[in-house]
Structure 1
Amino acid sequence: MDMKELSVLMQQNGIVGAGGAGFPTYAKLNENADTIILNCAECEPLLRLHRQLLEKYAQEIVDTFHLIGEAVGAKEVIIGIKKAYTRTIEALNAVIGVYPEVRLGLLDEVYPAGDEVVLIYEVTGKVVRPGGLPIECGVAVFNVETVYNVYRAMNQQTPVMDKLVSVVAEVEHPMTVRVPIGTSIEETVRLAGGVTTPNPVYFIGGPMMGFIGSGSQPVTKTTNAVLVLPESHYIIQRKRQKVSIDLKRAAACCCQCSMCTDLCPRNRLGHPIQPHLFMRAATCKDVQKPDIFVNTFFCSSCGLCEMYSCFQGLSPRTLMAEYKAGLRSHGLKPPQVVPKPVGEEREYRKVPMERLMARLDLTKYNREAPLDESAVPVRRVKIMLSQHIGAPASPIVKQGDTVTAGQMIAEPAKGLSVGIHASIDGVIKEVSEKYVIIETQEGRAGK
């Protein structure tokens, strides 16, 4: 399959990055990519779905990734995976021998190994310029579940209509489940047994970069995990802090120890992001060096500075995100910057995942969460039309239409966009500019 055919297949089958912001995968296909990397770093604490999926479907995923490499003309195909994932590595070693261009890029158990800029450096030694794209240094990075979705589209004619989600923490049976896209978070959590804490809070995504959600919101193509946490948990309390109070606390408490900068993963790669200088300038309203504010564009929002590094419990990441959003709203863009050389000290400033989990009070939740791909009966789904970076898909169904699982219900819009598909058999109950609701006949009869 050539690159053009593969691109059409990906766009029509709704394949996007299965985590993060959901960048349409077809747009990553580029003949300038001499290296492609499969990201199995499992960046966030408690998440397991990528290593589980790669272990179970090693042959299918490696075959497909090899084909993607052939389509773009990549000379090197790397699987970035942590050394600790021994069972997955064994499964990979059993199949990669027939592909001479495929190798494993073994990673330490540190955070944030899954940040693509960090991952690229670890397995290739290349530094992506600040604010730049991986393709500028001849690299494209793909998510494990994304590549598995390409396999399904190519070999099973199955578009993206379901999602693997790890349900962990305060539940009776932590597990990774496959649910139809549009299933409510609450219904997804129920698959892991009863909730084990009163007044649970649903934290969507990883504990470092996720957000507080609600039980009624739907699973999307980028929903990797749901952490069920008590209201009093450290992570929840930090997320609920007010920015205005964060700024005042920083003005009163920041001692300029520079720990936030010393442990910043992007700073260690030579990017000009210096959280401690930002904290001083922002709290003192000192604009004599505007680059300090402009350089917030280069923050990856990994959260280490505020969730791990700062002993005062301050919030550099949150405050920088506010300033970055303000700059963008006024039309500013990141400047062209050349990174500084990577220093030897970087190797000694990596944050071990074990220590991070202890700091976040998550160690007690670090339990097995086995993969269960059993069919999940769902009577109602709310499918968002914008589950990816770019233009929302355009609905091609109307209220009252009968649809089957896998049927396209919204076609790619002009520009960067992908198709959206029905995740269950049923009848279209509602169509809006933002979503499509589908109900099964049983669901409609029960009302």
Structure 2
Amino acid sequence: LDDFAIIEGGPMMGCIIDIDEPVKKTTSGFLVFPKEHPLIVNRLTSINYILRIAASACMQCRACTDLCPRYLLGHPIEPHKIMRSTAMPLSLPVETMTAAMLCSECGICELFACPMRLSPRRINRELKERFAAQSIRFKCDDDEFIPREEREYRRIPSRRLAERLGILDYIDIHPQFIPIFPISSKVRLPLKQNMGVPAIPLVIVGDDVKKSQKIADIPKGELGAPLHAPIDGKIISIEPDIVIESAN
């Protein structure tokens, strides 16, 4: 396979990464697909194109809302109404639009529910980013959400979902587990690998470090996680990532 793309994570919520990206604390797995696979094409489509298609092709069938896991759990999010706003801006209450902040970006709406192959998830993500940039938050007076009665009958069978995603041929394949990997002589550690703020380096270029030594920590009172050296070696870079090179 020459022309391929790599998804880090699962087929629904994973993101495309460069082949040179390092394995991080949050890495769960990698999926390699041909670049023409629908899961890759979907992720590479520009948000401007998605907005234009949504404005012209959304037929307000409610399928994205009816199958939305957050909606079925009782949350006041209705993706079909947010999709309506792409064609009719300012036609909806602020509460309806800011409910996009409740979207978990699971992908059910765009990869399974929508008969027009539109992308409510990408539009919700765009709204979340714009709201966050303006410090706009979703406000709701309810402190308890009751799952809707129809939730039990709208669960999606995993094999049907796999077929829709184009991965049914792979669902029963169990890759070989390799318990021991060769130790790399050079490692790169991103300073931000999890929720919260980036870690602050405790080392400088030229320092010798030992395996398991703490090499970066988080500021006091902030959310984050420290970093520890995975190998013995010398620090050759600390910006934008910490790079350690073994002498062996």
* Corresponding position of 1:24: none
Matched, 1:431 2:213: no
Q: Which amino acid aligns with 2:113?
A: S
1:359 corresponds to which of 158, 164, 171: 164
Secondary structure at 1:409 match in 2: strand
Q: CA deviation at 1:275?
A: 0.6
Q: CA deviation at 1:257?
A: 0.8
* Corresponding position of 1:341: 146
Aligned residue pairs total 245
Task: Note the 1:279-298 alignment, pairs <5 A.
Answer: 279-298=83-102
Matched-pair contact (CA < 8 Å) for 1:281–1:292: no
**What CA distance in whole angstroms lies between the structure 2 residues aligned with 1:318 and 1:354?**
24
* Corresponding position of 1:418: 225
Matched-pair contact (CA < 8 Å) for 2:8–2:17: yes
Higher relative contact order at CA 8 Å, sep ≥6: structure 1 or structure 2?
1
Matched, 1:396 2:202: yes
Q: CA RMSD in A?
A: 1.4
Matched-pair contact (CA < 8 Å) for 1:428–1:437: yes
**What CA distance in whole angstroms lies between the structure 1 residues aligned with 2:100 and 2:20?**
33
Matched, 1:229 2:36: no
Poorly superposed stretches of 4+, deviation over 3 Å: none
Secondary structure at 1:441 match in 2: coil
**What CA distance in whole angstroms lies between the structure 1 residues aligned with 2:60 and 2:91?**
17
The gaps in structure 2 that reach 5 residues or longer are none
Matched-pair contact (CA < 8 Å) for 2:54–2:86: no
**What CA distance in whole angstroms lies between the structure 1 residues aligned with 2:170 and 2:234?**
40
1:213 corresponds to which of 5, 17, 20: 17
* Corresponding position of 1:408: 214
Secondary structure at 1:229 match in 2: strand
Q: Which amino acid aligns with 1:427?
A: K
With normalisation by structure 2, the TM-score equals 0.94
**What CA distance in whole angstroms lies between the structure 2 residues aligned with 1:435 and 1:249?**
39
* Corresponding position of 1:369: 175
Q: Which piece of structure 1 moves more, 334-343 or 416-425?
A: 334-343
The gaps in structure 1 that reach 5 residues or longer are 1-196, 443-447
**What CA distance in whole angstroms lies between the structure 1 residues aligned with 2:105 and 2:158?**
17
**What CA distance in whole angstroms lies between the structure 2 residues aligned with 1:416 and 1:225?**
25
Secondary structure at 2:136 match in 1: coil
Matched-pair contact (CA < 8 Å) for 2:234–2:244: yes
Sequence identity (%): 36
Q: CA deviation at 1:404?
A: 1.9
Q: CA deviation at 1:411?
A: 2.2
Q: Which amino acid aligns with 1:228?
A: V
Matched-pair contact (CA < 8 Å) for 2:95–2:138: no
Q: CA deviation at 1:371?
A: 2.9
